[in-house]
A and B are shown apart, each in its own frame.
Chain A
Amino acid sequence: GAGVSQSPRYKVAKRGQDVALRCDPISGHVSLFWYQQALGQGPEFLTYFQNEAQLDKSGLPSDRFFAERPEGSVSTLKIQRTQQEDSAVYLCASSSYRSSYNEQFFGPGTRLTVL
């Protein structure tokens, strides 16, 4: 497809489980971003990649959160030992390096529920 895709769309985890969320950006988009969105709030930045390089991970809330993009295309956000406060929608966005506005286009998100 032409847009950003994410999988799974829904994930239920027991507290303490590890989860992995996948993002497939728009073909050719160099930049990839992960955001966390709590109910009733705007998306909060987690981390960003340019190609395979993770240039900013200042938004990752703890060392339980880890993201990678080894070949500069698909990215995985991993959360270890999930906690209830990790329950949120995780959004991935991509951006073309050639966009002067740095317009970011979002995928459908993964809704994570930690029980």
Chain B
Amino acid sequence: QKEVEQNSGPLSVPEGAIASLNCTYSDRVSQSFFWYRQYSGKSPELIMSIYSNGDKEDGRFTAQLNKASQYVSLLIRDSQPSDSATYLCAVNKQDSSASKIIFGSGTRLSIRP
């Protein structure tokens, strides 16, 4: 079992709709969770981080964390064609100290006009 699992997609969503991306992780001691966006041929760009159970909103993005279910998700409201990219879920096991991040394989999102 991979430590961080994501559906590889592609996930196709009409412009203006809500895109929902999901991720599960296996290690219960995981503390910090991240969503990175990666355009083709580019490096990952951090778009959201979440630490506590519940929702965290930033503009059109909402991250949701449920530690009991070991589940983290990303919602993108009012999807735009520029949101078409691969979204990487990432998990850091340690709290407030630098350590490695474990990435999922990513979900390809396509926003159709």
User: Taking beta carbons and an 8 Å cutoff, which residues of A are in contact with B?
Assistant: 30-31, 33, 35, 40-45, 48, 50, 56, 59, 89, 91, 95, 97, 100-109
Q: State A45–B99 Cα separation when bound (angstroms).
A: 10
Q: Evaluate whether A56 and B51 lie within 8 angstroms (CB atoms) in the complex, with A40-B105, A42-B104, A106-B45 already known.
A: no
Contacts A40-B105, A42-B103 hold; do A102 and B42 have CB atoms under 8 A apart? no
Sample (13) of A-B pairs whose CB atoms are under 8 Å apart? A33-B100, A35-B103, A41-B105, A48-B98, A91-B43, A97-B98, A101-B32, A101-B49, A101-B92, A102-B99, A103-B49, A106-B36, A108-B43
- Asked if B44 is at the interface (CB within 8 A of a chain A CB), the reply is yes
Is B43 touching A109 in the complex (CB atoms < 8 A)? yes
A71 to B79, CA, bound (A): 44
Contact B101 A104 (CB under 8 A): yes
Question: Contacts A44-B103, A101-B51, A102-B92; is A95 near B98 (CB within 8 Å)?
Answer: yes
- Cross-chain contact B99 with A56 (CB below 8 angstroms): yes
Asked if B98 and A31 make an inter-chain contact with CB atoms under 8 angstroms apart, the answer reads yes
